Amino acid sequence: MPSRPVSPPPEGAALRLVHYETMLEEVPVGLLLLDRGLQPLWFNAEAALACAVWNHGERKAAALRVREAFALPPTLAEACRALAAACAPGTEASAHPRVVSDHARGLHARIKLHTPGGTGSPPAFHVQLDYRRPRGDRHRPLSPGAVALLARLSEREREVAMRVREGLRTAEIAATLRRSPLTIKTQLAAIFAKLGVHSRTRVAALLNR
């Protein structure tokens, strides 16, 4: 008896969406989607942390459950409103990105107002958030709590963690320590597991408390 062709499950689109969201949680950039009324439609953990630092400062943000405490920073809300006002009706809103920065705390946001082409859907704000401590702060003394966290790591992992604290990217850490990027990624995964975190931004926040 010939076998029947296997048709894709009806929930295929929903399953892909779950996978997309899971992958976006892993990127080292905060991603935030807001509707035209500035209500959050979706955000990843990096975005939640960056917004918490913007709202409360680094020390208090490190003690928060940032997803549960999520609130759009007033500075970003103001920038979104200004961007919407600057985009004339009928123009391609995404051609007018706005950048907002708080250099003292290493916070940066790039905001676009985007209308999906040909869908008739309302526009939404696409916000990319980057939170990195200024490199000039790399010699800040470690707190006793940060020293205790580093004690959980191997010597080679501590070397990587300290570069993460300084704000270096994977390729920069690899070049500095003369290791391959793949080795650095493997050591980062071990650091995340031992410190109970899911991102390099969180490692930097813990070591800079």
Q: Which of 131, 158, 179 is the last residue of a domain?
A: 131
Residue numbers of the domain that contains 47:
25-131
What local confidence, expressed as pLDDT, does residue 158 receive?
92
Q: Which of 83, 115, 131 is the last residue of a domain?
A: 131
Q: Which of 98, 131, 164 is the last residue of a domain?
A: 131
126 and 139 together in one domain: no
161 and 196 together in one domain: yes
178 and 95 together in one domain: no
84 and 173 together in one domain: no
42 and 107 together in one domain: yes
Which domain CATH number covers 145? 1.10.10.10
What local confidence, expressed as pLDDT, does residue 137 receive?
55
- Whether 14 maps to a domain, the answer reads no
32 and 119 together in one domain: yes
154-175 exposure pattern, b = at least 16 Cβ within 10 A, e = fewer: eeebbbbbbbbbbbbebeebbe
- Whether 20 maps to a domain, the answer reads no
93 and 113 together in one domain: yes
What local confidence, expressed as pLDDT, does residue 4 receive?
46
124 and 181 together in one domain: no
The tally of domains found in the chain comes to 2
Tokens of 154: 């191997």
165 and 125 together in one domain: no
93 and 190 together in one domain: no
What local confidence, expressed as pLDDT, does residue 33 receive?
94
Classify residue 201 as exposed, middle or buried by CB count within 10 Å of its CB (0-12, 13-18, 19+): buried
53-92 exposure pattern, b = at least 16 Cβ within 10 A, e = fewer: bbbbebeebbebebeeebebbeebeebbeebbeebeeeee
Closest CA to 50 of 71, 22, 80, 23: 71
Strand partners, 111: 98, 127
What local confidence, expressed as pLDDT, does residue 21 receive?
77
Binned average pLDDT, 10 residues per bin, the chain of 209 residues: 47 76 76 94 89 87 83 95 78 69 86 76 89 61 87 93 87 89 93 90 82
Backbone phi and psi for residue 16, each to the nearest 5 degrees, phi listed first: -60, -40
153 and 168 together in one domain: yes
What local confidence, expressed as pLDDT, does residue 1 receive?
41
Record the pTM.
Answer: 0.60
- Whether 6 maps to a domain, the answer reads no
